[in-house]
Amino acid sequence: MASLITCPHCGVRPKEEFAVRGDASLIRPASSASDAAWHDYVYVRVNPRGRTLEHWHHVAGCRRFLVVERDTVTHEVYSVVDGAAAAREVRR
C-alpha cells in the first residue's frame, strides 16, 4: 500500500496516520431510488486492480476526509484532495 500520503493540509505523512474509508467514486442514489440501487450503493464493491479513488481520513492529523487517487498495483499516488473540495467539484 502507498506508504506516504501528501495531505493538502499537513504535508507528507506516513500511512499510519490515516484510516482508509473505502471507495470514493460511488454516488449516493436519490432517496426515492429502488431498493436494488440502494443495496448496490451500500454493500456492493468492486475490488479494482489499478487506479482507484478512495476516502482517506487523516485521523491523527487534520482529521479531514481526503480523496486519494492511487494505484493498487504500483502503489503510486496520483492525487490527494480535500473531501469537501472534491464533493464541490462533483456537484458542479
Partner 1 sequence: MVRDYNNRHALDQKLRGTPKPANADHLEVGHWQAIATVLASVGLEAAVERALSSTPDLSLRYCGPGEWLVVSGVDTPLGLMRRLDMLCGTQAHVVDQSDGRVLMRLSGPSARQILAKGIGVDLHPSAFALGGSTNVLCGHIAVNLSRIGEDVFELIVSRSFAESLFEDLMTMGRPFDLSAAFSD
Name the residues that contact partner 1, by CB under 8 A.
9-14, 16-17, 59-64, 82
Rg (CA), the chain: 14
Give Cα 29 distance to the centre of its chain: 18
3-state secondary structure of 74: coil
Strands 51-57 and 65-71: antiparallel
Stretch 37-76 residues interacting with Zn ion (CB under 5 A): 58, 61-62
Query: Which of 91, 77, 64, 76 has the alpha carbon at shortest distance from 8?
Result: 64
CB of 14 to partner 1, least distance (A): 4
Query: What character string, x for contact with Zn ion (CB under 5 A) and - otherwise, covers 4-33?
Result: ---x-xx-----------------------
CB of 47 to partner 1, least distance (A): 28
Interface with Zn ion, residue 81, by CB under 5 A: no
